Amino acid sequence: MKISEILKEDLINTSLKGNTKEEIINEMIDLLVKSSVADKILDKEKVRNCIFEREKIMSTGVGNGFAIPHGKTDAVSDIVAAFGITEKPIDYQSLDEKPVRLVFLLVARENMVGPHIKLLSRISRLMNKEEFRQKLLTLSSPVEILETFKNEESSYFDI
C-alpha cells in the first residue's frame, strides 16, 4: 500500500492552528471526520482515545520537526491518514526536544498490523530526508503536497 493511495487533497491541512500537541491531534482527527474518508470513521471518540493512548506510551514526535501520531482501533473500517503543517512550531514533547511543524496521522484497524507497520516505515523513511521536509514546509496547497508525496514515494519504493 502506498502513502499516495490513502492520502487525498481533503486530508491535507497546510495551516493547523493548534498551539499544543493535543490541539493539533484533535484538529487532525477532525480533518478525517470531515473528509472523503468520513464513512471509514466508525467512532470518532474511540479513534481519539487510541491516538492519545499511544501518545502516553511514548511521544510520536520522532524528531526533525516531524510527528506521526498513529494507532490501531476497530473504530475505523480501513486505514486512514491525514497530513498537516502547523502555522507555528509546536512543543510536541519530541524525542529530540525540538518543536514540530509536520504531522502525519495514521489510523488502522486492529487486524491490519502488517499494512500499518509498512506505512509507518514508508512515512518515516520519506520524512527522514531533510530536503523533503524542507520542501513540504514551502508548499501551501494540498495539491502540491500530494504531488510531492507521490514523486518522493515513487523515487524510493518499487511501485
Type of residue numbered 9: E
> Domain holding 131: CATH number?
3.40.930.10
CA distance 127 to 130: 7
pTM of the model: 0.95
Please give the residue range of the domain that contains residue 99.
3-156
Closest by CA position to 7, among listed 31, 43, 30: 31
Per-residue pLDDT of the chain (159 residues; tens, 9 = 90+): 889 899 999 999 999 999 999 999 999 999 999 999 999 999 999 999 999 999 999 999 999 999 999 999 999 999 999 999 999 999 999 999 999 999 999 999 999 999 999 999 999 999 999 999 999 999 999 999 999 999 999 887 654
pLDDT at 159: 44
Q: Which of 3, 28, 37, 70 is catalytic?
A: 70
pLDDT at 158: 53
Q: Based on the structure, what is the number of domains in the chain? A: 1
In the numeric block, the cell 478525517 is attached to 32
Type of residue numbered 114: G
Q: Is 116 a catalytic residue?
A: no
Contacts of 142 (CB under 8 A, 6+ apart): 9, 10, 12, 13, 14
